[in-house]
Structure 1
Amino acid sequence: MAKTQLNVRVDEGTARAARERALARGMSVNRYIEELVRQDTGEVGHTFVEAAADFMKSYENVFAEEFGTDREGRRAHRSEGRH
């Protein structure tokens, strides 16, 4: 999808909050603002799927350890002795 530049002016507190929220989510301010607009215009399902994918990627090792499979679907070795 082609991108269009949009310039906006906000007070420093709003700008700081946007930067902090984007950083906390591991994304650019541009992507953060874009996702907020998508949510507001009804594209929540797409945003949810992206967020879920990011979450799964972030916690992939935890899931593999807990549920016993690695990225390729093989059984992972558990240290607790459960199988």
Structure 2
Amino acid sequence: MSLRDDIYGTRALNGYRSSKSNNKTKHRFKLNLQKRRFYIPEEDRWITLRVTAKTVRTINRKGISAVLKEAREKGTLKQNI
């Protein structure tokens, strides 16, 4: 299972950690993924999504229906939702 957000499709990033002596070591910046259930009142059903903590805050602010509609328009939504 890949480290990917189901709604916005964000992925883990690669980068470097820098020590005090400025030595660089490769590092992977993983996502803060959460497995959450959301209720969609228009469709009268529950869905389970793997979303980042940032996406959960966005859903709390805008609502699940608005976020899903926006993701469908952008084309970033997972196909089976």
Higher Rg: 1
More helix, by proportion: 1
TM-score in terms of structure 1 length: 0.28
> Which structure ranks higher in relative contact order (CA pairs < 8 Å, sequence separation ≥ 6)?
2
More strand, by proportion: 2
TM-score in terms of structure 2 length: 0.28
